[in-house]
Amino acid sequence: PVVVKKADGNETGTAEVGKVVNYTIDVTIQPGAQKYVLTDVMTGLTYNNDVTVKNGDTSLGSNATTSFNDANSTLTVTFDQDYLDGITAATTITVAYTATVNESAVTVNKAENTATLNYGTNNNTTSDTVTLSNYGFGLMKTKSDANNKELLEGATFNILNGGTVLKFVYVSDGDYYRPAKANETGAVTDIPAGNVKFDGLANGTYTIHEVAAPAGYKIATKDETITITDGDEWVQTEQVTVNDSQITAYKEGGVRFVNEAGSSLPSTGGMGTTLLYTVGGALVVGAAIILITKKRMAA
């Protein structure tokens, strides 16, 4: 008699770190019910202390006592026995709350809650689980000169989802970026080029936008997009040849930015600027952003 689901009716899904997720737990109470106690253990989630317990649109009020144990991340709802004794037909009670996917979801590869109903004089139990799988992807951004002989430094880029620039926090002990939580200290939007990895993202479509090019080169004018789906997996790295130069890349996937030598100055006229663009246009440098995707399924 316990069904746990997200507010949209799905029992599984994906959510990035920092995402607020709506949960509902439907408990069916039968006539003669004894000692109904609902517990919900959360993993990779931060409870937002906003639980409601209702029969339809009517709150149970003092007929249901709620508490939360921070030590074991457990929400408990205890139903008053006098209220249970008054049940004459099967009655569905809805427990609703929100929780935020937190950074530990990346480490344990899951954000889930396990709801268990304890009932009866023999403390019988029934339970159900909802799992939100976290997905991550990595980017390896390699810039070289026109002959692919020298790596270039100084480029940075943003990642956008639905037109919104995402904020990230660098995790030093894992060497990756994860989405920042609301108002989190140390959050950044500009990511330096290099061998950069991300984790804790939901599946979806993301836009990569260069915001700064290496010194002496113009910012790429064209954005690129990637899509993370449920079936994505890491792919292995290998050495590949680009313009007779060996660089580390990935076997599959990837997008490519092209930077021209020169300066991203406004085209306001004047011989100096015109000459700069004319020369720069002949010196094209490839900025390869090769992405990998990693399926982060819950256990």
Structural domain includes residue 154: yes
Q: Do 88 and 151 share a domain, yes or no? A: no
Q: Which amino acid, one-letter code, is at 120?
A: G
- The tens digit of pLDDT for each residue in 120-178 reads 877 788 887 777 776 665 555 555 555 544 555 677 889 899 899 999 999 888 778 88
For residue 245, the tally of other CB atoms under 10 A from its CB is 13
The yes-or-no verdict on residue 283 having pLDDT over 50 is no
* Distant-in-sequence, close-in-space partners of 109: CB < 8 Å, separation ≥ 6: 134, 296, 297, 298, 299
How high is the mean pLDDT of the chain? 75
Structural domain includes residue 240: yes
Residue 143 pLDDT: 52
Q: Do 146 and 285 share a domain, yes or no? A: yes
Q: Do 245 and 264 share a domain, yes or no? A: yes
Cα–Cα distance measured from residue 237 to residue 47, given in angstroms and rounded to the nearest whole number: 39
Q: Do 23 and 166 share a domain, yes or no? A: no
Backbone dihedral region for residue 119 (phi beyond 0: left; psi -120 to 50: alpha; all else: beta)? beta
Q: Phi and psi for 43 in degrees, rounded to 5? A: -125, 130
- The tens digit of pLDDT for each residue in 5-37 reads 776 777 777 788 888 888 999 999 989 989 999
List helix spans (H) across the chain. 81-85, 104-108, 271-280
Q: Do 254 and 277 share a domain, yes or no? A: yes
Q: Do 109 and 252 share a domain, yes or no? A: no
Geometric angle at alpha carbon 23, from 17 and 24, rounded to 5°: 175
The yes-or-no verdict on residue 269 having pLDDT over 60 is no
Q: Which amino acid, one-letter code, is at 36?
A: Y
Structural domain includes residue 299: no
Residue that finishes a domain, picked among 100, 133, 166: 133
Backbone dihedral region for residue 49 (phi beyond 0: left; psi -120 to 50: alpha; all else: beta)? left
Please report, for the domain that includes residue 56, its CATH number.
2.60.40.740
Structural domain includes residue 178: yes
Q: Do 220 and 238 share a domain, yes or no? A: yes
* Distant-in-sequence, close-in-space partners of 70: CB < 8 Å, separation ≥ 6: none
Q: Do 158 and 222 share a domain, yes or no? A: yes
Instruction: Provide the b/e sequence for 99-120 (b: ≥16 CB within 10 Å).
Output: bbbbbebbeebbbbbbbbbbbe
Structural domain includes residue 184: yes
Please report, for the domain that includes residue 288, its CATH number.
2.60.40.10
Give the domain extent around 263.
136-294
Q: Do 141 and 268 share a domain, yes or no? A: yes
Strand 191-192 relative to strand 176-179: parallel, antiparallel, unpaired?
Answer: unpaired
Structural domain includes residue 281: yes
What percent of the chain has pLDDT above 70?
68
Q: Do 26 and 63 share a domain, yes or no? A: yes
Q: Domain count for the chain, please give it.
A: 2
Residue 76 pLDDT: 97
Residues 79, 49: contact at Cβ < 8 Å?
Answer: no
Q: Do 158 and 117 share a domain, yes or no? A: no
The yes-or-no verdict on residue 226 having pLDDT over 50 is yes
Q: Across 229-275, where does the E strand assignment appear?
A: 237-242, 245-250, 255-260
Place of tokens 């993301």: 206
Reference 93, options 71, 124, 120, 60; nearest CA is 60
Residue that finishes a domain, picked among 133, 164, 195: 133
Q: Do 116 and 212 share a domain, yes or no? A: no
Residue 253 pLDDT: 42
Residue that finishes a domain, picked among 94, 114, 133: 133
